[in-house]
Structure 1
Amino acid sequence: MRIKRHQTAVAATALIIALTAAGCSKSSGSTTSASSSTTAAAVTLTGNVSFNDANLTALDTKIAAALKGKSLSGVNIAMVVNVAADYWNAGKTGFQAGCTALGISSSNCIFYAPPNGTLTEQDSELESLRGKGITGYSISAIDPASAKSAIATDVSKGIFVLAIDSPLPGTAAQGLYLGTPNEQAGYQAGEAMKTELGGKGNVAILVGSLTAANATERIAGFKQALAGTSINVTVTENDNLSASTAQSDAETILANHPDIKGLYGVYSYDGPALAKAVTTAGKTGQIAIVSDDTDPATLSAVQSGTIAATVAQMPYYQGYTGAYILAAEKVLGSDATMAIVKPYLESDGTTLSSGVGVITKSDYSQYTSLETQLGIG
C-alpha cells in the first residue's frame, strides 16, 4: 500500500504555505479567520491555499499500517455524490487513487455522480450497489431526510456509511463526517464579501438547496461574518441544483434589485452562473461575486477578476481518505477504525476536515499548481 498522493501534496503545500500568512491559520485541520469586528476597508483580500493535508497524510499512514498484512479482498466500496459537476472530478480522482494505493480493484471501487442531480438517480444507484454486495460507501446525500431510513437499514446490515461534503445529522451516519467544516467555509466567504464591499451594501445568496446541512451551515457562517457591518442579505434563491436556474435567478435579481452590490454562490456551479449573469448585465467590476468551490469555470473567473474570491474545498481528499476509511471499516471494524480517526477530528468530535482554502486572483497560480501535482485535470 502506498501514500504517494499525500507525499506529493505535502511537498506542494510546503512551497505555498508561506503565502498564506495573511489568510487562515490551521490547527488540526481547523480554520480561523479575522474577527468579524475587523473593519473591511482596512483589510486587503488575501487567499489561503493550504488545506489539511498534513493531518490527513498522518491518518492515512496509520490506517495503512493497521491494514498491513491483512486481506482487502472482501472490500467493495463506493463514492456516491450529489450531481455530475466538474467539482466532483477531483473527488473521483482522489477516490480512485486511494483505491489504487490500497490495492483495491477498480471493480470494487465505484464512483457515481447522478447525471441530473436527482434523488431518483442517486437512490437507484445505491440500490444497484447493494445488489452488488457493497461493504461501504461515502455519500453526499441529495436529500438527507429521505435518505435517513435507507441509511439506517444499510448500517443495520453492516454496511458502513460515511458522510462527505455535507453532514448527515439525525441519521445512522452522523458519527463521522469527512469534508469541509461548512460554517467555517461560509464565514470565510463572508469575510471576503465584507472586504470587497467595504463593510456596506446589500447582497443576494444563490444556493442549490435550502435544507442540505452543508448549505444551511455555509449560509449561517456567511451571515455570522457580516454581523456588525452594514451589509445585509436581502435575497436568497434556491436554484435546485441547476446552473441555468442560478444564472436566470441572478439575472432577475440584478434587474429587479439595483441595490444589490454582491452575490454569494454556495454550490459549485453557482460561481460560473453568477459570473455569466454579471457579465451579461454589463456589471463586471460593479458587483462583487464570492463563490464556493473550484470548478474550472470558477477558477477562470477568479483569474480574470470577475469572481473576487472562491472558498475552496478539497474533494480530492474526501475521495482519497474516504477510500482508506471505508476499507478500514470493513477490515478492522468500526471501533478500531474510529480509534485511529479520533485524534484527527475537529472539536465537535465528528468532523474530519478536508480543509478550507480561499482563492483570489493573486493565489490562482499557486492553487492550480497544487491541482496539477495531485493529478487533478
Structure 2
Amino acid sequence: MTMIGRNWAAAIGLMLMTAACGESDTDEARAATPIKRTPLPQNEFVPVKIEATIDKLVAEINKSSVQTMQIAVLLKSLNDFFAPIATGANRAMGELGVSGRVTGNVLGSTNASADQEQLMKLQTEQIKQVVDEGAEGIAITPFGEGNAAAIDEAIAKGIPVVALDTELARSKRAFYIGILSESAGATAGNTLLEMLPAGRTGTVLIHGWADPSWADGVKRTQGARDVLEEAGYDVLVHQSIYDDEARDIEVMKGEIEDADPPVVGLMGMFSDSYRCVLAADAVDAPELPVVAFDFAPQTADYMRQGRIKATHVQRQYYEGYLGPYIVYGIKSIGLDATKKILAPQLVGDQFDLGVDVVPSGKVDAYINFLDEIGAEQ
C-alpha cells in the first residue's frame, strides 16, 4: 500500500457508482432521474436561507440532463472538527450518486498524530493522485497556500475546485465555502455587547489572534474588536498561547489585573475560548460575562453551568454538503448560472455560511440538533 493509502481513508466504503441507472437505461430515462435530498428535521437551528439556496440549486440541476462526473472530496481529517464536514459531503455525494450523476469518494487523514507539514504533503500527493485517476471536480479543505500550486495545476487542466473552510484567495479556485472571518467576529462582538454594562465603559479582553501568519485568525479577532471599540469600550487583544494552557491563563490573569479601565467582559475567538472562564476564576471574578467561539466539550460544559453565556459555531456540515453540489452545478448548469443561484450568500466568490449563535440555555438543544443531522463534534 502507498504512503497515501496508509494515511488516508475513504469516509464512504465504496465508490458511488451510479446504482440507479444501469447500462441498459435509455438517455431519456436517465435524464428524468431526479436528485432527492435527505430531509432534515424541523429545528430552530436549521439555516433556512441556506437551505432555500440549496433547494434552488438542486431544482436547476434537476432540469438539466444527467451528466456523469467524478468528484473527489479531500479533507484534512475525518476526525474532530472535520467529522461534520465529512458527514455533509458523504450525504451530498450519496444523493448525487443515487441520481446517476456522480462517482467518487470523500477522503481524509485518519492519522491523529501526524503534524501539519506531513498532512499538507500527503494532501498535495492526494490532489495529484485523484487528478491522475480521472477526477473532474474537487472540493477540498486545503492547507493554506502550502498546496495552492497543486490545486492550480488541477484547475489548469479544466478541473473546477471549491475550497472548504480555509480560503485560498490567491489560487484560482471557483468558490470558497465557509465563514467570513471578519463578519463572524463582528457577530460574536455584538453578542457580547448585549451583555455588557449600559454605561459603555470598561475594557473587554479578547482571547484571540494578533500574529499576521494566520490572516483569518487576525480578521476574526479584528471583527469583534471593531464592534466593541465602536460601542465605546477599550479592547485588549490577548494572543492565544494555544499549546500551553497554564501559561495562557497566567498571562490573561496578569492582563486582567493590570487593565485600566477594569475588565468588564471576556470573549474567545477559537476552540480554546473556554480558557476565558479559567482566567476569570484566576482573578476571582466569576461574574464577568464570557462569550465563546466553536463548540469544544469544555465550552459546552461551562455553558451548562452558565459561565459561558453564548458560543458561535461554524456550520461544518454545510461546508461538506455544499461542496459536491456546487462542483457538480458548475458542470451541469455552468459557472455563471451556479453563481447566480448562490448569490444570496455570496460575497464576491465567497459563500458566507455565517455561524450558529447558541445561548447557554440552548446548549443541549443544539447538541440534539447536531445529533439529528449526524454532525456531532
Matches within 5 A, 1:166-315: 166-173=166-173, 175-198=174-197, 199=200, 200-207=202-209, 210-239=212-241, 242=242, 244-245=243-244, 248-258=247-257, 259=259, 260-267=263-270, 269-275=271-277, 278=280, 281=282, 283=284, 285-315=286-316
What is the distance in 1 between the residues matched to 2:130 and 2:189? 44
Q: Is the 8 A contact 1:78 1:112 kept in 2?
A: no
Structure 2 letter corresponding to 1:375: G
How far 1:193 sits from its partner (Å)?
Answer: 2.4
1:360–1:62 Cα change, 3 Å: same
Q: Deviations over 1:333-352 (max 9, x none)?
A: 545544543x3343x33232
- CA RMSD between the two structures: 3.3
Separation of aligned partners in 1, 2:64 and 2:110: 29
* Aligned amino acid, residue 12 of structure 1: N
Kept in 2, the 8 Å contact 1:51–1:356? The answer is no
Distance 1:150 1:325, change over 3 A: same
**Structure of greater Rg:** 2
Residues in 2 aligned to 1:340 and 1:114: alpha-carbon distance in whole angstroms: 38
Q: How many residues align?
A: 328
Structure 1 residues 230 and 335 mapped into 2: Cα distance closer, same or farther (>3 Å)? closer
Q: What secondary structure, in the 3-state scheme, does the structure 2 residue paired with 1:8 have?
A: coil
Counterpart residue identity of residue 367, structure 1: Y
Task: Tell me the residue number matched to 1:354.
Answer: 353
User: Which amino acid is 2:93 matched to?
Assistant: C
| Contact 1:247–1:276 (8 Å) recurs in 2 | no
CA–CA distance in 1 between the matches of 2:211 and 2:61? 37
Q: CA shift at 1:195, angstroms?
A: 2.9
The answer to whether the Cα contact below 8 Å between 1:312 and 1:358 also exists between their aligned partners in 2 is yes
Aligned residue number for residue 118 of structure 1: 116
For residues 14-49 of structure 1, give each alpha carbon's deviation from its aligned partner in whole angstroms, at most 9, with x where no partner exists. xx6xxxxxxxxxxxxxxxxxxxxxxxxxxxxxxxx7
The answer on whether the counterparts of 2:165 and 2:177 sit within 8 Å (CA) in structure 1 is yes
Shift of residue 58, structure 1, vs aligned partner: 2.0
Q: Which runs of 5+ in 2 are unaligned?
A: 1-34
Alpha carbons of structure 1 residues 323 and 209: separation in structure 2 relative to 1, 3 Å: farther
Contact 1:207/1:270 (<8 A) preserved: no
User: Is this contact kept in 1: 2:304–2:360, CA < 8 A?
Assistant: yes
Answer whether contact 1:196 1:288 (CA < 8 A) is retained.
yes
Residues 89 and 263 of structure 1, relative CA distance in 2, 3 Å threshold? farther
CA distance in 2, matches of 1:373, 1:298: 20
Match of 2:96 among 102, 111, 119: 102
For the residue of structure 2 that corresponds to 1:193, the secondary structure is helix
Which of these residues, 66, 72, 83, is aligned with residue 69 of structure 1?
Answer: 66
Aligned counterparts of 1:237 and 1:306: Cα–Cα separation in 2: 22
1:268-299 deviations in Å (ceiling 9; x for gaps) = x22244445555x3746244332222234322
What percentage of aligned pairs have identical amino acids? 21
- Is this contact kept in 1: 2:86–2:106, CA < 8 A? no
Instruction: Give the whole-Å Cα distance in 2 for the aligned partners of 1:111 and 1:59.
Output: 29
Q: Could you tell me whether the CA contact under 8 Å between 1:210 and 1:238 is conserved in 2?
A: no
Secondary structure of 1:132's aligned partner: helix
Question: How far off is 1:226 after superposition?
Answer: 0.9
C-alpha contact (below 8 Å) 2:61/2:332 kept by paired residues: no
With normalisation by structure 1, the TM-score equals 0.74
| Alpha-carbon distance in structure 1 between the residues aligned to 2:148 and 2:169 | 9
**Structure 2: which amino acid aligns with 1:354?**
L
Question: 1:113–1:135: structure 2 CA closer, same or farther, 3 Å change rule?
Answer: farther
**In structure 1, distance between residues paired with 2:138 and 2:304:** 36
The higher relative CO (CA closer than 8 Å, separation ≥ 6) is in 1
Range that drifts further, 158-167 or 183-192: 158-167
Distance apart, 1:354 and its partner CA: 2.1
Q: Distance in 1 between matches of 2:299 and 2:334?
A: 40
Q: 1:84 to 1:307 in 2, by over 3 A?
A: farther
Distance 1:324 1:201, change over 3 A: same
What runs of 5+ residues in structure 1 fail to find an aligned partner?
17-48
What corresponds to 1:58 in structure 2? Answer: 55
1:70–1:160 CA distance, 2 compared to 1 (3 A): closer
